[in-house]
Amino acid sequence: MTVSAPPPPQSPQPPAGPTAAPRPAGGRRWPTAVASLVLLALLMFAQSFRFPSDVAVTEPMVASGDASATVDAGSFTVRVEEVRFAKAVGDGSEDSALSDFAPEPDYIEAKGVWVVVFLDVTSTDRQLTRFESRLDSGDKNVYASTPWLHNAFGSIGDGFPPGIPIRGATAFEVPEKALKDPVVQVTISTGIDKRLSGEAHVKLGLSGDELKKAIEGAEETLDVPEPRMQKV
């Protein structure tokens, strides 16, 4: 007698109809990628506050003060001794014993007014050789000192030995109406490289009617003497 085995069970068949398309794998990854990029951008933004750039770390260190006091810029000190206004300036030695025999200086007339700032500068610990100055006129403009005067600070051969005050002047040609509340800015370094140099911003204390009166009373001509060492 022959015995037949029962047929194997059949798997249930899915109902007839359209088959759903599989979701692409990339669809699950793009939100994660975007979140990672946002997080990376936030980390870089935060790092920019914690670690300043090399330029920010080594740029001149600014010290501010008024003309009534000595301003200590670290590598040097500076004190404003006098501010004079003139219609024309020239290289001269008006306080020299030989001034009566010296030739008449050539004067440079201003298209505006000359602001001549007399300074006492003292290097604190090393020989400084490069002097630069600017004048913030108080009207959002900054003016460089004139390069045309050989006697003014900033000429070739200037030197500031440590511990010895040097008195000299720096001159700026400025439109009269631009002067509001001027501040002289001085940077002195050992050469072209100004990294970690000192910089002083000295408020001249001239504004309003006092400044207007000084401009209206500008001297016809002003002789700028060469820098000189002062007694310690």
pLDDT in tens, 48-75: 555 454 444 456 678 999 998 999 999 9
CATH 2.40.10.10: does it fit domain 60-96+103-229? no
- Residues with Cβ < 8 Å from 107, sequence gap 6 or more? 88, 89, 90, 221
Strand segments, DSSP code E, in 98-182 are 108-123, 130-136, 142-144, 166-174
Q: What burial class does residue 231 get, using C-beta atoms within 10 Å of its C-beta: 0-12 exposed, 13-18 middle, 19+ buried?
A: exposed
Closest CA to 197 of 76, 67, 51, 72: 76
17 phi and psi angles, rounded to 5 deg: 155, 180
Residue that wins the pLDDT comparison between 35 and 207: 207
Q: Provide the whole-model pTM.
A: 0.72
Q: Name the H helices within 51-171.
A: 54-58
